[in-house]
A and B are shown apart, each in its own frame.
Chain A
Amino acid sequence: MSEYIAPLRDMQFALKELAGLEQVAQLPGCEEATPDLVDAVLEEAAKFAEGVLSPLNWSGDQEGARWHDKAVTMPAGFKEAYKLFADSGWTALAAESEWGGQGLPKVVSAAVNEMWKSANHSFSLCPLLTAGAIEALVLTGSDALKATYLEKMVSGLWTGTMNLTEPSAGSDLAAVRTRAEPQADGSYKIFGQKIFITYGEHDMADNIIHLVLARTPTAPEGVKGISLFVVPKFLVNDDGSLGARNDAYCVSIEHKLGIHASPTAIMAFGDHSGAIGYLVGEENRGLEYMFIMMNAARFGVGLEGVAACERAYQRARDYARDRIQCTDIGVRGGPKVAIIQHPDVRRMLMTMKSYAEATRALAYVVAAAHDAAVHHADAETRKRNQAFVDLMIPVVKGWSTESGVTIASIGVQVHGGMGYVEETGAAQHLRDAQISTIYEGTTGIQANDLIGRKMAREGGATLKSVIAMMRALDSDLAKQGGAHFAAIRSRLAAGVDALATAGEWVVATYGKDVRAASAGAVPFLKLLGIVAGGWQMARAALIAQAKVDAGDGDPFFPAKVVTARFYADHVLSGAAGLASSVTDGAEGVMALHEDMF
């Protein structure tokens, strides 16, 4: 079975040429991230992903996490791999140096995280959730909470979780019912049940720090009455040592379609005496705090889409090279050939390759904008970058992960019947990829966030500025000769036109008929995704062509131009259809009475 090989060449290209790593390294606080250091970090991360995490992907899926007596046993090898992961300092990559982190910029952690996710999606969720909990505490925790928890979480000694969902409060967090009763000593006792808690229980770390949404007795109804609490699995003594077992137990784990090695816990808080919790920030502001981190978490999940495209592509490519079947098309009686020679298999592989590269380029560009939004010295530049990030986060999350599922499905198809058999490993990628379109907000939630909060609320201003950047590429594309660039230019222009038309319609319609706008939300998100991906592929093609023209003999560059051209003809060409679904499709969505379903 083929192991994952980190696509360092394309990652470095996307980081340096598209995301502007050198500019990021000039931002205040990002000076460490020089290109040579980033290369060294990526190479070592690649070794770890390829040598430690990838070999556990299949066995972890087959064995799965197992629950017994309120404890979870991880699949063989995970505990050791996690210890090595933490000992190697990877948990500390992005965290601030004050807490023992390396403080590397988002654009670097994006590339590194993509590797963890491609190599072993299930494993990668533990550090992802911990990073989310760290960020929540850094942003909103008291000094005492920070001092008690952060260093050990950054070092990976303890892991973190996010406890939001309840059986009746999924996408609708206003319905959270978990109670928090204030105690005389300033702590709270937490009572309630939480579900879908990723790594809510496991045996890889000494302590698990749950961040839990709950209501205090005096809290108002709805979203404005939810507070955030730290609830450790083991209470922490004043000297930092572990104390009593807290009343927070995993009562079961879910049986799922994929990510079998990632334990999805059902957590019972306070079934015995009450789980001791500590308020994070102020009462009733929990959801607000969660939303601060939501962008980061959604971006992280978006990378899973990139990672799924890449992993599925590599496996399908390796299989297509080895699998001999049929003679070359149009050749009678000739030798049997590897299926990679067949045009339809080529089409599938090019689709996979181009999606992997386009989703990666967009994600890294958004990560670099995030770094500028946080670190840039100029307030106006920070604001402009933040607006871009806010607009694109639901796209990176929604479009990349939907693409991950599509591409993993094509990966199965390349394998034919063997792909439907578990042993080839292609099916696991499809099963694992599906969850990324669901957690941290389904694609529908992303799309409605996009058209509402990110577009209608500001009259589509940021979208317009992005469209202007896309159009600005046209003059450079026009200067290039040849069929590749002609196709890239005309498809991009048509895609941007479709995006502009649909975007204007969404903004104009949202206020007067929000149901009609919402009916086209997901098609619009996909439209923005494929056009933004096409924009980055066109940029990539121009840069690659300039390298070729300058005499660089690296075959990576002409391949990039061809891949961008394929993407234009096979992916961007779908923009107009999606735009019509947005502008003309609402009536068909809503016309039928419920009884007719």
Chain B
Amino acid sequence: MKILVPVKRVVDYNVKVRVKSDASDVDLANVKMSMNPFDEIAVEEAVRLREAGVATEVVVVSAGVANCQETLRTAMAIGADRGILIQTDGELQPLAVAKLLKAVCDKEQPQIVICGKQAIDDDANQTGQMLAGLLNRPQATFASKIVVAGTQATVTREIDGGLETIEVPLPAVLTADLRLNEPRYATLPNIMKAKKKPLETTNPAALGVDVTPRLKTLKVAEPAKRTAGIKVADAADLVMKLKTEAKVI
């Protein structure tokens, strides 16, 4: 069984992001980039499934600039077997990425695709769902537990009300939530081996996908600074302020 894991190169979670002075986007110049943490969880899960004998191969795929190679190498250091880079310098929106991934899936025919549930840069939470739609396959999103048996995956999902367990026939698209696993620290021998694992480079045109953005970003702004709080005299005062000032009740 083959598992495909898309990985995205994003601003490192430790970085305090800044908005460009022209408010067009987040400033990515000279900012530390790393693998989207949810994708790291997805890679870890796929590698565990291979180590458990459920899967035989883990393929990681990334779409974006040439430096996405580093992200693929990181995934291969965790244990993925090979990588595919869909190289493009332009903006990629979730639908375009989903189309690119569909084209890769058509070629690779994975039984399972595990995506991160969302990327920490744009928090879109769309690619996995769109990919399932394009592939016309079942989806099980926000997984905190995945059990694969035969041609079926039993997935525990994190939903607002608690946990929901569903069964999906394979092939299927799953998306990983935070509690699915705790990714390992890559070992030094695996970091060195990752360098020698196969990495294939392609591009949107070769995959026959038009990645032209469908959405236009009007403005990017920093969240409003938190202002100082106030002390309320008593519960009645609090309720009054919530009603008249905050207007939330």
Contacts and interface: CB of A to CB of B under 8 A. Distances in A.
Contacts of A39: 70
Nearest to A85: B185
B70 A40 contact: yes
Interface string A1-32: 00001001100000000000000000000001
Interface string B180-211: 00000111111110110000000000000000
Classify the secondary structure of A's interface with B.
Answer: helix
Interface string A484-521: 00000000000000000000000000000000000000
B185 A40 contact: no
Contacts of B70: 36, 39-40
A90 B188 contact: yes
Contact of B14 (A5, A34, A90, A93): A5
A554 B194 CA distance: 29
A41 B73 CA distance: 11
Contact of A37 (B14, B32, B195): B195
Nearest to A45: B188
Contacts of B103: none
B29 interface: yes
A476 interface: no
B188 A92 contact: yes
Question: Which of A32, A88, A92, A554 has most B Cβ within 10 Å?
Answer: A88
A88 B187 contact: yes
Nearest to B188: A89
B74 interface: yes
Interface in B14-42: 14, 29-30, 32, 34
B114 interface: no
B77 A44 contact: yes
Nearest to B194: A40
Contacts of B185: 44, 47-48, 51-52, 84, 88
A292 B73 CA distance: 38
Given A5-B14, A8-B32, A553-B29, A40 B77 contact: yes
A555 B192 CA distance: 31
A36 B32 CA distance: 15
Contacts of A203: none
A587 interface: no
A431 B190 CA distance: 37
B192 A37 contact: yes
A584 interface: no
Given A51-B185, A90-B188, A40 B73 contact: yes
Interface in B93-142: none
Contacts of B186: 44, 88
A39 B71 CA distance: 12
Given A44-B186, A48-B185, A102 B32 contact: no
A37 B34 CA distance: 15
A36 B195 contact: yes
Contact of A555 (B30, B32, B77, B191): B30
Interface string A85-104: 00111101100000000100
A40 B191 contact: yes
Nearest to A554: B30
A348 B34 CA distance: 32
A439 interface: no
A32 B189 CA distance: 12
Interface string A40-66: 110110011001100000000000000
Interface string B158-176: 0000000000000000000
A44 B14 contact: no
A41 B194 CA distance: 11
A47 B35 CA distance: 13
Contact of A87 (B29, B187, B192): B187
Contacts of B191: 37, 40-41, 44
Question: Which of B29, B74, B192, B194 has most A Cβ within 10 Å?
Answer: B192
A291 interface: no
Contacts of A43: 34, 74
Contacts of B195: 34, 36-37, 40
A553 B29 CA distance: 8
Interface in A71-94: 84, 87-90, 92-93
A40 B30 CA distance: 17
Given A36-B195, A37-B195, A102 B30 contact: no
A482 to B, nearest CB: 22
A44 B188 contact: yes
Contacts of A555: 30
Interface in A528-572: 553-556
A111 B77 CA distance: 20
Contact of B192 (A52, A90, A102): A102
Interface string A273-289: 00000000000000000
Contacts of B77: 40, 44
Contacts of B32: 8-9
A556 B30 contact: yes
Question: Which of A40, A87, A89 has most B Cβ within 10 Å?
Answer: A40
A518 B172 CA distance: 76
A102 B29 contact: no
Contacts of A9: 32
B239 to A, nearest CB: 33
A89 B14 CA distance: 25
A312 B195 CA distance: 35
Contact of B30 (A52, A88, A89, A553): A553
Interface string B58-83: 00000000000010011001000000
A286 to B, nearest CB: 32
Contacts of A556: 30
Contacts of A93: 188
A553 B18 CA distance: 15
A553 B32 CA distance: 14
29 contacts: A9-B32, A32-B192, A36-B70, A36-B73, A36-B195, A40-B73, A40-B191, A41-B188, A41-B191, A43-B34, A44-B185, A44-B186, A44-B188, A47-B185, A48-B185, A51-B185, A52-B185, A84-B185, A87-B187, A88-B186, A89-B187, A89-B190, A90-B188, A92-B188, A93-B188, A102-B188, A102-B189, A553-B30, A554-B30
Given A41-B188, A87-B187, A89-B188, 18 more contacts: A36-B195, A37-B191, A37-B192, A40-B74, A41-B192, A44-B77, A44-B185, A44-B191, A47-B185, A51-B185, A52-B185, A88-B185, A89-B189, A102-B188, A102-B189, A102-B192, A553-B29, A554-B29
Closest 7 CB pairs of A and B: A89-B188, A554-B30, A88-B187, A89-B187, A44-B186, A89-B189, A40-B191
